[in-house]
């Protein structure tokens, strides 16, 4: 590792307000979502994935997508310039386009690398979804909206089994040819290990030198932070996580929470990387979220705090729950 800022800077995206809540068993009030978004932005997170323009019939937890964006728009400032919205297809893109003039300039598309997962998640084959994504990219161009792409089940699929790296790279190549700005590789069901993560990270960085490469891990089997460390060691400098470790995929059995933002970012800082994010404030946000949801969240740092001699006053006493 060199001493240059470019080499030590890690770019982080908070996905809890979208990916975290989409699998929550009960409806989450819009004010709770907005409080989490505000907390992440106030902590210095450069980009927050706030919602998805998906059909409420498929993901009822995100039925308030327009309300969330309207509230962020009405808050003023440059808030919408710091958020990202998932659009599953051209119809979702058209819904998001209402907010382009207000500052929204970043959308996310998603495709699984297997037909088994893609049909459960989007009711489409991989090829059909790639065609849909091409339409979204074309629609984004006139407004100069940035399109990022998420590649799901990049290490294993609950329906089709293990996934070979060349299959993942092949799908990602199709997306790169369309002109996406970022490729995020997701361990959607949490089956990857550090060695496998390192291999795919190296392949992706070599193959997509002109495109930003990100990694998205789930902590289903307790390897989320270790996998993030392996990605960093391979040269990846973009990570995603969810405050408190909330989340999971509603279309992937036993896909539990995303890697916890504050747990992972504490590791990132310990390794000497810069993020510009106040981890203590993320820990406090997790405590507040746990109380709002009245449910213990899977993350560790917000419950244990940092080292006892470093713990902020709000974490005194250990447990976040009253």
| Rg of the chain in Å (alpha carbons) | 18
Contact 302, 290 (CB under 8 A): yes
In the chain, the DSSP E strands lie at 11-14, 47-52, 83-86, 106-112, 146-152, 156-157, 161-162, 182-187, 212-217, 238-241
CA distance 207 to 228: 20
C-alpha pair distances (Å), 70 with each of 20, 57, 143, 150, 206: 20, 21, 19, 25, 40
CA distance 112 to 153: 6
The gap between the terminal CA atoms of the chain, to the nearest Å, is: 43
Structure tokens that stand for 54 in this block: 């998906």
C-alpha pair distances (Å), 166 with each of 96, 114, 257: 33, 12, 27
Contact 188, 218 (CB under 8 A): yes
Contact 40, 16 (CB under 8 A): yes
By CB atoms closer than 10 A (0-12, 13-18, 19+), residue 195 is exposed
Query: Mind telling me the catalytic residues?
Result: 249
CA distance 128 to 121: 13
The full 3-state SS of 4-73, as one line of letters, equals CHHHHECEEEECHHHHHCCCCCCCCCHHHHHHHHHHHHHCCCCEEEEEECCCCCCCHHHCCHHHHHHHHH
């Amino acid at each position: 590792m060199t001493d240059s800022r470019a080499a030590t800077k890690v770019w982080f995206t908070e996905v809890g307000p979208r990916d975290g809540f989409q699998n929550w068993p009960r409806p989450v009030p819009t004010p709770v979502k907005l409080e989490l978004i505000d907390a992440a932005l106030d902590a210095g997170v450069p980009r927050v994935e706030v919602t998805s323009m998906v059909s409420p019939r498929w993901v009822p937890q995100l039925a308030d997508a327009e309300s969330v964006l309207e509230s962020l728009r009405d808050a003023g400032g440059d808030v919408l310039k710091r958020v990202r919205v998932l659009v599953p297809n051209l119809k979702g893109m058209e819904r998001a386009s209402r907010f382009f003039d207000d500052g929204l300039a970043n959308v996310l598309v998603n495709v699984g690398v297997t037909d088994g997962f893609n049909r459960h998640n989007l009711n489409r084959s991989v090829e059909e979804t790639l065609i849909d994504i091409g339409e979204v990219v074309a629609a984004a161009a006139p407004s100069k909206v940035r399109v990022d792409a998420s590649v799901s089940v990049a290490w294993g699929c609950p329906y089709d089994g293990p996934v070979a790296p060349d299959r993942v790279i092949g799908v990602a190549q199709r997306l790169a040819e369309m002109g996406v700005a970022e490729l995020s590789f997701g361990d959607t069901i949490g089956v990857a290990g550090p060695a496998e993560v390192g291999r795919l990270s190296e392949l992706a960085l070599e193959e997509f030198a002109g495109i930003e490469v990100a990694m998205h891990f789930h902590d289903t089997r307790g390897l989320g932070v270790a996998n993030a460390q392996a990605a960093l060691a391979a040269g990846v400098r973009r990570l995603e996580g969810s405050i408190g470790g909330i989340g999971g995929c509603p279309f992937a059995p036993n896909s539990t929470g995303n890697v916890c933002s504050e747990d992972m970012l504490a590791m990132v800082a310990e390794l000497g990387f810069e993020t510009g994010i106040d981890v203590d404030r993320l820990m406090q946000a997790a405590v507040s979220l746990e109380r709002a949801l009245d449910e213990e969240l899977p993350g560790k740092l917000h419950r244990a705090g940092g080292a006892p001699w470093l713990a902020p006053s709000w974490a005194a006493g250990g447990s976040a729950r009253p």
